[in-house]
Amino acid sequence: MASCDTCLVRNRAICAALDADEIGALNTIGRQRLLEPGESLIWEGDDSVLVANVIEGVLKLSTGTEDGREQIVGMVFASDFIGRPFGTTTGHGVTALTEAKVCVFNRRDFDSFARAHPALEHKLLQRTLDELDRTRRWMLLLGRKSASEKVASFLIEMTDRVASPGCSSLMPPGAIHLDLPVSRQQIADVLGLTIETVSRQFTRLKADRIIDLPSRREVVVLDRAALVAEAG
Amino acid sequence: MASCDTCLVRNRAICAALDADEIGALNTIGRQRLLEPGESLIWEGDDSVLVANVIEGVLKLSTGTEDGREQIVGMVFASDFIGRPFGTTTGHGVTALTEAKVCVFNRRDFDSFARAHPALEHKLLQRTLDELDRTRRWMLLLGRKSASEKVASFLIEMTDRVASPGCSSLMPPGAIHLDLPVSRQQIADVLGLTIETVSRQFTRLKADRIIDLPSRREVVVLDRAALVAEAG
DNA sequence: CGCTCCGTTGACGCATATCAAAAGCTGTGG
DNA sequence: CCACAGCTTTTGATATGCGTCAACGGAGCG
């Protein structure tokens, strides 16, 4: 059975607020679950029945209109928290983008545990405040930036969030290698654009020698400064 | 001297989590402040030196690009909380839209007080989670909705948030009267549009008998259902 | 009464969406 | 190993919604 002791995110997730005894107690109400790419953990509009910590992988948070338009409202990574504690419904779906491992809790169990452990609630509050700040900054992008600014901003955000350690010596100095966890369509859904516009911006950036595109899911950032300049 | 005992939002703001003694203690570190329309309490990028509760009035949270584009990332009303506790910088400015009364705290004082009072932190967490949900729903609007859907959504949000009690008997049955706390430019900055587009949508809605526009800052919603249908 | 600010209206252009088709990958079965 | 099917992505042609620029109008104020 998986235990918190061996958990990859033991010291980075909100659990870091707890001591050994408390972790033991939390361990009894949580269980690990594996998700395949495309598999959903929570659906938009559902009653809030569970919350979770991400142990491995990348997931998206998304909402949509009735006529099928979709907007990705957040991406969550290892050690991030998922779900809506202390509430009744979840406003957005949660779906795995890569294979993912999550530590799932029944929401009510988690709620009472959290209320009994202020240090945990404090960590959760800090995370929520950070996420709110990040989300508000993204609103500027959605409301006011052009397609080229949006794509540049996306790539910069990605270099900060999923910078691959496996940069081979074959790459030009200063280059940053990215393995995107998302398809072109999903990038479009993050940026509020169409897939065609995203694709055209990628090819233009490649033509301008600002990035390289070794494969569909890979991006090499050749000139990060140029990207920052384009991001507005 | 103003005291929490007579505070208009005593039972709705996060202070509602505290008993009489605790309120007394909080009273000693907070002070009231009046703001004129257009006056800023916090500037984007500032060190986070203060936090506050809104007692009366409406304020905007906004970010902008270097070249002057602006995006309003939130509107705050009576009993809402303002500022970035437990953090170093604030990602957005806070500016009064109407005359406003706020209860201001030094951020460090508030931080230590909050850490010592888990019930207060819990209220703050709930508010922050609610605000995050609201903000994420707004992202769908910014990224995926058309101008007409945006304006309709804005008006619906306003009927929920500032429905005037003073509906005179002169109005058609079912009509809802709104006193907008914002200019056309500010509506545009909330919706990620230009002032001209907002204006055109307003006149169209008036021509379609869905709203009436008695004055610049007033809107009468004649057919809320039609507005909901347009909001997407 | 006239000035100024804000909002409205109109003409026009452009960025991005839409529609359509070709070009790469990826996997499967012969 | 090749052929083919079913994808995602790219590329191209066209359409359109919204932005931009410019002029006008009306409300508030000295």
Q: Please give the order of strands across the beta sheet that includes B93-96.
A: B40-42, B93-96, B59-64, B70-76
Q: How many domains in chain B?
A: 2
pLDDT digits (tens, 9 = 90+) for A125-166: 999 999 999 999 999 999 999 999 999 999 999 999 887 665
Share of chain B above pLDDT 90, in %: 88
Cβ atoms B119, B145 nearer than 8 A: no
Q: What would the pLDDT profile of B31-58 be if each residue is shown by its tens digit?
A: 999 999 999 999 999 999 999 999 999 9
Q: What is the pLDDT of residue B3?
A: 78
Whether residue B172 lies within 8 A of chain A, CB to CB, comes out as no
- End position of a domain, from candidates B121, B142, B163: B142
Q: Do A65 and B144 touch (CB under 8 A)?
A: yes
pLDDT in tens, A83-92: 999 988 999 9
Q: Judge if the beta carbon of B192 is closer than 7 A to nucleic acid strand D.
A: yes
Give the closest of A84, A138, A144 to B129, CB-based: A84
Interface contact A145-B87, CB threshold 8 A = no
Contacts of A118 in chain B (CB under 8 A): 118, 121
**Within this chain, do residues A11 and A106 fall inside the same structural domain, yes or no?**
yes
For the record, the structure tokens of B151 come out as: 């304006």
d(CA B213, C1' C1) / Å: 28
3-state SS, one letter per residue, for B54-75 = EEECCEEEEEECCCCCEEEEEE
CA of B196 to C1' of D23 (A): 14
Using a CB–CB cutoff of 8 Å, tell me whether B84 touches chain A.
yes
Of B63, B115, B128, the CB nearest to A132: B128
Residue ranges making up the domain that contains A83? 4-142
Residues A115 and A132 in one domain: yes
Mean pLDDT of chain B: 93
Nearest CA-CA distance, residue B152 and chain A, Å: 15
Confidence class of residue B131 from pLDDT cuts 50, 70 and 90? Answer: very high
A207 shares a domain with A196: yes
Based on the domain organization, do B45 and B128 belong to the same domain?
Answer: yes
pLDDT digits (tens, 9 = 90+) for B12-31: 999 999 999 999 999 999 99
Which residues of chain A make contact with B228, given a CB cutoff of 8 A?
none
Q: Check residue B162 and give its pLDDT.
A: 79
Q: For residue B107, give the 3-state DSSP assignment.
A: helix
Of A65, A70, A145, the CB nearest to B232: A65
A172/A84 same-domain check: no
Domain boundary among A142, A162, A189: A142
Q: In which element (H, E) is residue A218 found?
A: strand A218-221
From A122, A142, A162, the end of a domain falls on A142
Residue contact A129–B192, C-beta within 8 A? no
Phi, psi (rounded to 5 degrees) for A104: -100, 140
Q: What's the pLDDT score for residue A163?
A: 72
CA dihedral B74, B77, B79, B82 (to 10 degrees): 40
Strands B70-76 and A218-221: unpaired
Q: Is the dihedral of CA B146, B149, B151, B157 positive or negative?
A: negative
Pairing between β-strand B30-35 and β-strand A211-215 as defined by DSSP bridges:
unpaired
Q: Strand C: which positions are within 7 A of a protein CB?
A: 6-11, 15-20, 25-26
Average pLDDT for B48-71: 96
Say if residue B105 is in the same domain as residue B150.
no
Q: Are residues A80 and A137 in the same domain?
A: yes
Beta bridge partners of A103: A32, A53
Question: Which residue stretches of chain A have pLDDT < 70?
Answer: 1-2, 164-170
Closest CA to A105 of A8, A34, A33: A33
In the sheet that holds A30-35, the strands lie side by side as A30-35, A100-106, A50-56, A81-82
Which domain CATH number covers B216?
1.10.10.10
Number of cross-chain residue pairs from A and B with Cβ atoms under 8 Å apart: 120
Same domain flag for A22 and A112:
yes
Does pLDDT of B192 surpass 90?
yes
Task: Please identify which residue in the block is written with the tokens 């049955």.
Answer: B173
- Does the CB of B184 fall within 7 Å of any strand C atom? yes
> The domain that contains A137 carries what CATH number?
2.60.120.10
Q: Which residues are within 8 A (CB) of A203 and not within 5 positions of it... i.e. 6 or more apart?
A: none
- Pairwise CB contact (< 8 Å): B71 & A126: no
Confidence of residue B88 (pLDDT cuts 50, 70, 90): confident
Residue A49 shares a structural domain with residue A119: yes
Q: Do A69 and B126 touch (CB under 8 A)?
A: no
The predicted pLDDT at position A162 comes to 80
For strand C, list residues 188-207 of chain B whose Cβ lies within 7 Å of it.
195-196, 198-200, 202-203
Residues B71 and B157 in one domain: no
| Cα(A85)–Cα(A49) distance, integer angstroms | 9
Rounded to whole angstroms, the distance from the CA of residue B148 to the C1' of nucleotide C13 is: 21
CB A218 within 8 A of CB A171: no
Residue A144, nucleotide of least CA–C1' distance: D19
* Residues B112 and B188 both lie in one domain: no
> Is B88 near chain A, with CB under 8 Å?
no
B123 lies in the same domain as B50: yes
What are the tokens at A129? Answer: 């405040």
